Amino acid sequence: QEKVQQSPESLIVPEGAMVSLNCSFSDSASQSIWWYQQHPGKGPKALISIFSNGNKKEGRLTVYLNRASLHVSLHIKDSQPSDSAVYLCAVSMPGGNNKLTFGQGTVLSVIP
Amino acid sequence: EAAVTQSPRNKVAVTGGKVTLSCNQTNNHNNMYWYRQDTGHGLRLIHYSYGAGSTEKGDIPDGYKASRPSQENFSLILELATPSQTSVYFCASGRDIYAEQFFGPGTRLTVL
C-alpha cells in the first residue's frame, strides 16, 4: 500500500515569506500528485496537481516533482494570513478509479 | 463550482446503534468516495463507488458498508457503531481518473 509522508508537521512564518512544504511517497508507479488545502471545520480543496517530472507554476504556487527520489514539494510565494491552513499531499495510484492516499498534513500558520 | 453536501453535520450515537451518513452531489460525477479523518492519520479511504449500484472497499472498510442508489447519492452505514468509529467523515466526488476530488463539509460523528 502506498505510503505518503509530509514534513514539517507544522510551520509558522511571517506574512510575505516563502513557504516550502515537502512530501515523500513510496511507489514510483504513482500517477498524479495533488496538494489540497483544508481550513478549520471545512473539507479539503484541491490547489494544484502534477503528473510529470519537473515543475508546475500556478499564481503564487509552484510544485516540484522528482519521481526518481519519490519526492514532491509545494512552494507558496508571498504568503498571506489567509494561507493559514492544513496542507495535504495526496497520491493517486494506477487502476482507473483515482483512489487517493493522503499524507498526515502540514499545519501552516502565517503571522501578520 | 462542484457541490457536495453531507448530512447530518453532527451526530452523537450510542455503541451498538446503527448510523447512516448521507452524501449528495450535483456535479454528475461518476466517482464518489468516503473518507475518515483522524489526528495523526490524515484522510483514509473507507469505500468508493464508480457509479450507481457499485461500491468498492477502500483501505479501511471493516465495520462500514456503503450504498450508491443513484448517481447523486452515496451513503455510509455503520451497522453496529463502536467508539473507535468516532471521527470526522468526508464525502467526495470526482469526474474520472486524474480529476480532482471535490469534498463535502464533513460530518462529525461521536459514538458514546
Mean of pLDDT values over B65-71: 97
Q: Is B27 helix (H, G, I), strand (E, B) or coil?
A: coil
Reported as a pLDDT band with limits 50, 70 and 90, residue A73 is: very high
Residue A96, pLDDT > 60, answer: no
Residue B19, pLDDT > 80, answer: yes
- d(CA B2, CA A98) in angstroms, rounded, equals 17
Are B35 and B45 in contact by the 8 Å Cβ rule? The answer is: yes
Q: State whether B99 and A98 contact (CB < 8 Å).
A: yes
Mean of pLDDT values over B20-34: 95
Q: B107: which chain A residues are within 8 Å (Cβ-Cβ)?
A: none
Task: Return the residue of B nearest to A34 by Cα.
Answer: B100
Q: Where are the beta strands (DSSP E) in chain B?
A: 4-7, 10-13, 19-25, 31-38, 42-49, 56-57, 65-67, 73-78, 87-94, 101-103, 107-111
Q: Would you state the cell numbers that stand for residue B57, as one nine-digit string?
A: 472497499
Instruction: Name A95's Cβ contacts closer than 8 Å, sequence gap at least 6.
Output: none
Reported as a pLDDT band with limits 50, 70 and 90, residue B85 is: very high
Strand partners, A19: A76
Cβ count near B33 (within 10 Å): 26
In the prediction, which pLDDT does B73 show? 98
Are A77 and A17 in contact by the 8 Å Cβ rule? The answer is: no
- d(CA A42, CA A53) in angstroms, rounded, equals 31
In the prediction, which pLDDT does A77 show? 98
- d(CA A75, CA A21) in angstroms, rounded, equals 6
Q: Would you state the cell numbers that stand for residue B30, as one nine-digit string?
A: 461518476
Mean of pLDDT values over B72-91: 98
Reported as a pLDDT band with limits 50, 70 and 90, residue B40 is: confident
Query: Touching check for B42 and chain A: CB below 8 Å?
Result: yes
* Residue B15 DSSP one-character state: T
Are B89 and B36 in contact by the 8 Å Cβ rule? The answer is: yes
Instruction: Round the average pLDDT of chain B to a whole number and report it.
Output: 94
- d(CA B108, CA B64) in angstroms, rounded, equals 16
In the prediction, which pLDDT does A27 show? 82
Chain A interface disruption, residue of B31, B54, B100, most A CBs within 10 A: B100
Residue A89, pLDDT > 90, answer: yes
In the prediction, which pLDDT does B2 show? 62
- d(CA A79, CA B92) in angstroms, rounded, equals 28
User: Regarding predicted confidence, which is higher, A27 or A5?
Assistant: A5
Chain A interface disruption, residue of B46, B50, B97, B108, most A CBs within 10 A: B97
Task: Considering only CA atoms, give the Rg of chain A.
Answer: 14
Are A98 and A92 in contact by the 8 Å Cβ rule? The answer is: yes
Q: State whether A97 and B97 contact (CB < 8 Å).
A: yes
